[in-house]
């Protein structure tokens, strides 16, 4: 099952037989006080910098989040969903669905799958959205809050893949939130999640350690034919390092 996203110049195909889709996360004011101040002042210059860094790091898609701190997110969502789903149908867009209820994020994978079933039913039956245009977020929670959270997420991924076969995404940084050496945690979690059915993630594409882990997962899961992308990336990195060394030597 492929979820196909297109811009004026590029088409990205998300699926379990495709290279893992890296969604750049950086365009987000959460936890970025200076960025929040810039946005309030109407200054979008940081967005351009973030876009360039994310794309250079390997982002295939970009998550653009202009969420306002302290807003009533539940009320905004209540108002937005009736507007969003008809637009998704009208324009053939894809939509990300989160299997949480009105009260909490369910801990048990079975409950998340139950809510996924309801979500997919409403989207496909009421709004006639093709199932391939529904991307489910299995909900990644911080390992620092409960070391069982990552295994619950992975179990949810496996169950959703087995029952529905839909594409999935998640906020990779959520897993390591509050912990030291966050990149190592993400670089370990993502390949495991990919092997169970995760097909994309909103992640920090500026972190080479995480991007390499994802690309290595593509290689060992036979989504990088003959290792062409892995080898090309290695050669490009070597060339960049040699060029930087030459420039440094010339400067001295």
Task: Give the pLDDT confidence of 10-53 residue by residue, as tens digits.
Answer: 899 999 999 999 998 767 766 677 777 777 777 777 777 888 88
Instruction: Please state, as a whole number, how many other Cβ atoms lie within 10 Å of the Cβ of residue 131.
Output: 14
Q: Average per-residue pLDDT in the chain? A: 87
Read off the pLDDT of each residue in 231-251 and give the average, rounded to a whole number. Answer: 87
pLDDT at 146 over 80: yes
The residue among 247 and 30 whose pLDDT is bigger is 247
Read off the pLDDT of each residue in 51-79 and give the average, rounded to a whole number. Answer: 71
- Residue 82 is predicted with a pLDDT of 67
- Residue 52 is predicted with a pLDDT of 85
3-state DSSP percent of the chain in helix, strand and coil, to 5: 55, 10, 35
Cα atoms found within 13 Å of the Cα of residue 130, Cβ hemisphere only: 12
- Residue 83 is predicted with a pLDDT of 64
How confident is residue 55, by pLDDT bands cut at 50, 70 and 90? confident
- Residue 235 is predicted with a pLDDT of 93
pLDDT at 81 over 70: no
Buried residues in 103-120 as b, exposed as e (16+ CB within 10 A): eeebeebebbbebbeebb
Go through the chain and tell me how many residues it has.
Answer: 252
Read off the pLDDT of each residue in 102-126 and give the average, rounded to a whole number. Answer: 92
Eight-state DSSP code of residue 22? E
pLDDT at 1 over 80: yes
C-alpha–C-alpha distance, residues 55 and 7, integer Å: 15
C-alpha–C-alpha distance, residues 7 and 239, integer Å: 30
- Residue 6 is predicted with a pLDDT of 84
- Residue 167 is predicted with a pLDDT of 97
Read off the pLDDT of each residue in 109-129 and give the average, rounded to a whole number. Answer: 94
CA torsion angle for 155, 173, 189, 142 (degrees, to 10)? -50
- Residue 76 is predicted with a pLDDT of 55
- Tell me the domains of the chain and their CATH numbers: 3-221 (3.20.20.20)
- Residue 74 is predicted with a pLDDT of 62
CA distances from 45 to 41, 42, 94, 224 (A): 11, 9, 28, 36
How confident is residue 196, by pLDDT bands cut at 50, 70 and 90? very high
pLDDT at 192 over 80: yes
Torsion sign (Cα): 157, 153, 114, 94: negative
- Residue 10 is predicted with a pLDDT of 85
Q: Please answer whether residues 130 and 89 qualify as being in contact, where contact means their C-beta atoms are separated by less than 8 angstroms.
A: no
Read off the pLDDT of each residue in 113-140 and give the average, rounded to a whole number. Answer: 94
Read off the pLDDT of each residue in 89-99 and give the average, rounded to a whole number. Answer: 85
């Amino acid at each position: 099952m492929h979820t196909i996203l297109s811009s004026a110049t590029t088409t990205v195909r998300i699926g379990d037989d495709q290279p893992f889709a890296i969604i750049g996360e950086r365009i987000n004011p959460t936890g970025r006080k200076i960025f929040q101040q810039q946005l309030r002042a109407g200054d979008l210059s940081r967005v351009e910098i973030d876009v360039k860094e994310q794309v250079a790091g390997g982002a295939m898609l970009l998550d653009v989040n202009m969420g306002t701190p302290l807003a009533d997110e539940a009320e905004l969502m209540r108002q937005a969903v009736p507007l969003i789903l008809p637009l998704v149908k009208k324009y053939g867009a894809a939509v990300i669905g989160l299997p949480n209820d009105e009260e909490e994020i369910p801990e048990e994978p079975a409950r998340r799958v139950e809510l996924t079933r309801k979500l997919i039913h409403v989207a496909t039956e009421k709004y006639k959205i093709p199932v391939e245009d529904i991307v489910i977020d299995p909900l990644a929670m911080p390992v620092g809050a409960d070391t069982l959270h990552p295994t619950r997420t992975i179990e949810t991924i496996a169950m959703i893949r087995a029952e529905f076969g839909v594409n999935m995404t998640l906020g990779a940084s959520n897993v390591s939130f509050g912990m030291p050496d966050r990149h190592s945690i993400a670089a370990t979690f993502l390949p495991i999640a990919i092997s169970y059915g995760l097909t994309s993630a909103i992640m920090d594409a500026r972190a080479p350690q995480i991007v390499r882990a994802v690309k290595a997962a593509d290689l060992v899961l036979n989504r990088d034919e003959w290792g062409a992308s892995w080898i090309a990336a290695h050669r490009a990195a070597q060339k960049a390092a040699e060029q930087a060394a030459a420039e440094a030597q010339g400067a001295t």
